[in-house]
Amino acid sequence: MCVQQTWQLYRRLHESAIFPKDQLAVRREIANIWLKQAPVNSRTGRKGGKYAAKDKRVPPHVRFDGNSHFIEKTEKQARCASCGMKCRQRCIKCQVGVHDRCFAHFHSK
Ligand SMILES: [Zn+2]
Ligand SMILES: [Zn+2]
């Protein structure tokens, strides 16, 4: 939002107010408007369903131990721990969803 727009917004908000304000007071109010709006504006658009760090669910010493990792089919859909897409397989040992095509990748560093 540029200063011009903020000024117009200020005018709209204060149309009913009759008493004049000097430039400094106006600038201070504009600063207040900015401060109130900025956090909201910066948050929208950035937030969203960002998938939680996929590797964090399985500790590395389990994930990369190369021992007894088997894939099994699941009834419910899960998130693949490697690519983050929905899948219907999981690693029995890691207890996380993983595609068969992602299985090797997920278990190798
Ligand atoms: Zn996958
Ligand atoms: Zn595993």
Residue 49 included in any domain = no
pLDDT per position as a tens digit, 35-62: 776 655 445 444 434 444 455 789 999 9
**Domain of residue 12, residue span:** 3-43
Distances (CA, A) of 55 to 12, 60, 76, 103: 50, 8, 21, 13
Q: Are residues 37 and 59 in the same domain?
A: no
Listed in sequence order, the residues at least 6 apart from 5 whose beta carbon sits closer than 8 Å to its beta carbon are none
Shortest-distance ligand to the CA of residue 87: 1
Shortest-distance ligand to the CA of residue 90: 2
pLDDT at position 74: 94
Beta-carbon count within 10 A of 25 CB = 10
The CATH number for 96's domain is 3.30.60
Q: Are residues 59 and 16 in the same domain?
A: no
Q: Are residues 29 and 64 in the same domain?
A: no
pLDDT at position 57: 86
Q: Are residues 33 and 63 in the same domain?
A: no
Shortest-distance ligand to the CA of residue 98: 1
Per-residue pLDDT band at 32 (split at 50, 70, 90) = confident
pTM: 0.50
pLDDT per position as a tens digit, 64-98: 999 999 999 999 999 999 999 999 999 999 999 99
**103 against 42, higher pLDDT:** 103
